[in-house]
Chain A
Amino acid sequence: MGLDIRLPIGSMFSIVGLLLVGFGLLGDKAIYQRALGINVNLWWGLVMFLFGIVMLFFGRRGMRDLKRDEADED
């Protein structure tokens, strides 16, 4: 279908992950009281970012295969 879905998923998760990490590092720390004192934005942002990178890696590989398949068909 010309688009490997892992590419948009990977991009979105790495962007959202980065946003959360940045906010977790720079933002007000008092807001984490409700989250049992854990800086969830920082840690969960990191997890989402890493997941995004892994998806991007596989998505790029998938796109390469897709392009090759399409070239074969032509």
Chain B
Amino acid sequence: MKLTIIDWTIMLVYFVFVLGIGFALKRHMKTSKDFFLSGRSLPAWITGLAFISANLGAQEVIGMGASGAKYGIATSHFYWIGAIPAMVFVGVFMMPFYYGSRARSVPEYLKLRFDEKTRGFNAISFAAMTIFSSGISLYAMGLLLGVLLGWDFTLSVMISAVIVLIYISLGGLTSAIYNEVLQFFLIVFGFAPLVVLALIDVGGWSGLVARLGGVATAQGYPAGAWTHSWKFMDSPAHNPMGVEWFGLAMGLGFVLSFGYWCTDFLVVQRAMAAKSMSAARRTPLIAAVPKMFFPVLVILPGMIAIALTHRAGATGFALPQKLDGTLNYDLAVPMMLGHYFPTGLLGVGLTALMASFMSGMAGNVTAFNTVWTYDIYQSYIKRGASDAHYLWMGRMATVFGIGVAVAAAYLVTRFNNIMDMLQLVFAFVNAPLFATFLLGMFWKRATGHGAFVGLLSGTFAAAIHHGVTLPHGGVAGIKGGWFAVTHIYPSEMAQNFWTAIFAWTTCFVVTIVVSLMTKARADSELAGLVYSLTERPKEDQLVWYKRPTALGAIVLGAALVLNIIFW
């Protein structure tokens, strides 16, 4: 890919605006509440777009394109059942507690609802996870820019780390959120023309379906396996994901999806910055609308890439191969940008790609500095300091967090396994979380001891399950089976889904049992934290389209229609 002066100019304009937003917001950061919570002052459409943009990191854009090529339209499950229902649930049912309790973070809610140890466990594991995710994001970007443009790894990593560092330490969460909104539009405008051009090249939707039929039969699947999302989920052998509908619906659609969207502070923080309860509740619902159409932007290009590789279109695009002769799916989207975009638009596309890396990283960094400052520093290291001191700490945490992320990025270049292992451990810690929140919010009898023991057992159950199973064709080790092999799953994805199901169920059951054996808290202490002891937020004074329940119903209905159309 060769860039010319016009591409460089476009990138430069973007960087100027990103930093400019940080500088413009600096004078508004007077208290720690401004810095960590945007003063709870933002309108719902802004927090809503930031809500999905923070999640729209590198893994999303590159990974979903790769999955689109590997698995076809079934990848949309990560959106239509793997995100939308959970986003509606967090908006309609859970936000009243997050926002209404005035907790400043998700771990702080756990402290209010349960106890100190449950908060500590969540805060520390979450803080570590966000930093390493930023590191992975940086690493992926450095690697990609090296492959595409021949840029130096250190240069790419340093430039993006420094830019994110500047705009967050100047303008805090508001700066991150504002930039996420800018990045959202840039990503949409950067990828939309790619979809249009590639779709024309492949002969429209019907041309795509015909070619993907060839892709599917060539690999021994039914002809529609790439273009139907549910039809071939009856057995793992019929679809390239190697999963069946139950594991998919329970593992992805319930445990993993609710665990992420309803409990991950990275996204919940955006809703907490909203200016009112109703705006906070609408945040995930507004986010759900573009989210359900994102498969067009991020999955469809991958599907077209594999279709064109199978039988080339007019412009002759084909996926590159790795050294071992297999197709390099991860390069599907970036290579298509380079193939279809002339200089000029290429600048926009690459800027959009960088924007996606930065928004993902910035989301992690703002979540980290808040949890570090409020839940770790203020709780365990230095209590009762002045607000100005915590504001200063937030800025320091931003510097420190990004520093560790950069170090992590370099660590991965040396030891690839470390990152795989860390991600595995985080997956174990995350899998049971939603059971704790569900019981905490909707069952007043759940106790702190119950929650803590439940979380530990759930994490432990995930590790054990992973230790005794293997995906088909896997070798014992990082892929599982390091304990003994009692069951072989048809694919890694199936193994992940079932690990999550086991972890969640264990946490759910253990929390109930231990709670019943320990002393319950008085009802008066739980007002505003538990469903049965909290007044329902009133909606009747709002216009119908601003009512969270009405919006939620519309969003769910639309997602259902999409599932049926692409059945």
Interface positions of A (Cβ within 8 A of B): 1-3, 5, 8-9, 11-13, 15-16, 19-20, 23-24, 27, 31-32, 34-36, 38, 40-41, 44-45, 47-48, 51
Chain B residues at the A interface, C-beta cutoff of 8 Å: 6, 9-10, 13-14, 17, 20-21, 24-25, 27-28, 38-39, 41-42, 46, 174, 178, 181-182, 185, 189, 193, 197, 200-201, 314-315, 339-345, 348
Interface of A is mostly: helix
Shortest Cβ distance from A9 into B: residue: B182
**Would you mind naming 12 contact pairs between A and B with Cβ atoms under 8 Å apart?**
A1-B42, A3-B21, A3-B28, A5-B21, A8-B24, A9-B182, A16-B10, A16-B14, A34-B339, A40-B197, A40-B341, A44-B193
Nearest Cβ on chain B to A22's Cβ, whole angstroms: 9
CA distance A40 to B197 in the complex (A): 9
Q: Knowing A1-B25, A20-B348, A32-B342 touch, does A40 contact B193 (C-beta < 8 A)?
A: yes
B14 / chain A contacts, CB cutoff of 8 Å: 12, 16
The number of inter-chain residue pairs (CB within 8 angstroms) is 97
Q: A3-B25, A13-B185, A34-B315 are in contact. List 18 more A-B contacts (CB 8 A).
A: A1-B38, A3-B24, A8-B178, A9-B182, A19-B344, A20-B10, A20-B348, A24-B344, A27-B6, A32-B342, A34-B340, A34-B341, A34-B342, A35-B341, A41-B344, A44-B348, A48-B189, A51-B189
The binding surface of chain B is classed by DSSP as: helix
Say yes or no: A31 contacts B343, CB within 8 Å. Answer: yes
Residue with the highest number of chain A CB atoms closer than 10 Å, among B181, B185, B342: B342
Across-interface contacts of B315 in A (CB, < 8 A): 34, 36
- State how many angstroms separate the Cβ of B102 from the closest Cβ of chain A: 20
A70 to chain B, nearest CB (A): 11
Q: Note all chain B residues with C-beta closer than 8 A to A9.
A: 181-182, 185
Whether A19 touches B10, Cβ cut-off 8 Å, given contacts A2-B28, A3-B21, A34-B339, is yes
Query: Given contacts A35-B197, A36-B201, A40-B341, is CB(A16)–CB(B21) below 8 Å?
Result: no
Are the CB atoms of A1 and B41 closer together than 8 Å? yes
**Interfacial chain B residues near A47, Cβ < 8 Å:** 189
Report A-chain residues with C-beta under 8 Å of the C-beta of B10: 16, 19-20
